[in-house]
C-alpha cells in the first residue's frame, strides 16, 4: 500500500499540498483529477521521493520513501507528462534498459524486459533510434516503455494518453489492462477520463492542494464538473 499521511508541501512560501492523506492499496486502478495547479503532479512526485514533504510522510509497503528512495523508485514507477525530462540515455533501447540495468538483472532478463516493453508501446524494432529524433507521441511511448521495463508494483502515469494517436492509445490502454489484471496498482493523473473512467476502481480529485473528492467512479461522476473535469459520458 502507498500511504500518504498529513502531507504538507510548499514551493517557496506557498502551500501547494495542504495536509493530504491518501492510501492507495495494492492492485487498485485509481484516477487522480483536478484543475490545473491543484497539486496532482506535486503529490505524485512525493510517492517515490522525488520531493520531500515539509511535514507528514509517504510510506510504500510500510517503508518511509524519504529513508529509502531507491527502494521507492523500484517499487513505484513513474511516467511524467513531459517525457524529455526523464530520459537518461541517447537511444530508445539504452534508455529503456537503464532502469533494469540498475536493478542488477542479468543481460538476458534486461533484453527480455526491453523487448517486451517496446512491443507493448509499439516501438519494437526501434531500440537503436535516437530519442531526440522521435516525435512527441513516440517519446511519450518510450517513456512509458521505460517504466514498464522496471515491472513496478505501483505505476503512476501523468497524462499517459495525451498526444498519442489512436493505435498507440489502444495499445497503451490494453497494456494497462494487462498490468492491472496482473495486480499492478495504477495511478493515472488525467484531465480526460475517456477510456479510463470505466477501467478505474476509484477517482480522487484535488482542489487547491487538498483532496476534494474520493469516490468510486460512478458516484464521482456527479462531482467532476465542480473540479473542472469533463464528464466522460459527454
- Rounded distance between C-alpha atoms, residue 120 and residue 116, angstroms: 6
The pattern of x and - marking residues 10 through 49 that bind ligand ATP according to CB under 6 A reads: -x----x-----------------x-xxxxxxx-------
Nearer to ligand ATP, 114 or 155 (CB): 155
SS3 at position 124: coil
C-alpha cell belonging to residue 234: 459527454
Cα torsion through 216, 170, 114, 40, rounded to 10:
-40
Count of residues of this chain found to bind ligand ATP when the rule CB under 6 A is applied: 10
Please report how close the Cβ of residue 188 comes to ligand ATP at its closest, in angstroms: 13
Name which of 125 and 136 has its Cβ closer to ligand ATP: 136
Closer residue to ligand ATP in complex, CB, 92/186: 186
Report whether 58 contacts 7 (CB < 8 A): yes
Distance between CA atoms of residues 1 and 61, nearest Å? 5
Q: Does 136 bind ligand ATP (CB under 6 A)?
A: no
The nearest distance, CB 206 to ligand ATP, in angstroms, is 6
SS3 182: coil
Binding site for ligand ATP (CB under 6 A): 11, 16, 34, 36-42
Amino acid at each position: 500500500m502507498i500511504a500518504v499521511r498529513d502531507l504538507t508541501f510548499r514551493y517557496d512560501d506557498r502551500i501547494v499540498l495542504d495536509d493530504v492523506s491518501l492510501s492507495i492499496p495494492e492492485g487498485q486502478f485509481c484516477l487522480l483529477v483536478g484543475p490545473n495547479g491543484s497539486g496532482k503532479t506535486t503529490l505524485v512526485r512525493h510517492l517515490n521521493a522525488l520531493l520531500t514533504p515539509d511535514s507528514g510522510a509517504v510510506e510504500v509497503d510500510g517503508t518511509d520513501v524519504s529513508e529509502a528512495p531507491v527502494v521507492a523508485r523500484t517499487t513505484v514507477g513513474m511516467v511524467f507528462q513531459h517525457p524529455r525530462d526523464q530520459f537518461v540515455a541517447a537511444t530508445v533501447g539504452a534508455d529503456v534498459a537503464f532502469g533494469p540495468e540498475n536493478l542488477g538483472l542479468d543481460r538476458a532478463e534486461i533484453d527480455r524486459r526491453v523487448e517486451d516493453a517496446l512491443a507493448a508501446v509499439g516501438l519494437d524494432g526501434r531500440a537503436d533510434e535516437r530519442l531526440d529524433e522521435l516525435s512527441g507521441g513516440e517519446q511519450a511511448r518510450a517513456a512509458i516503455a521505460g517504466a514498464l521495463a522496471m515491472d513496478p508494483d505501483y505505476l503512476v502515469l501523468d497524462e499517459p494518453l495525451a498526444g498519442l494517436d489512436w493505435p498507440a492509445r489502444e495499445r497503451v490502454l490494453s497494456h494497462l489492462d494487462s498490468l492491472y489484471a496482473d495486480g499492478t496498482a495504477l495511478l493515472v493523473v488525467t484531465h480526460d477520463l475517456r477510456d479510463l473512467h470505466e477501467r478505474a476502481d476509484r477517482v480522487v480529485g484535488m482542489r487547491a492542494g487538498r483532496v476534494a473528492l474520493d469516490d468510486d467512479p460512478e458516484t464521482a461522476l456527479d462531482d467532476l464538473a465542480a473540479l473542472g473535469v469533463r464528464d466522460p459520458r459527454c
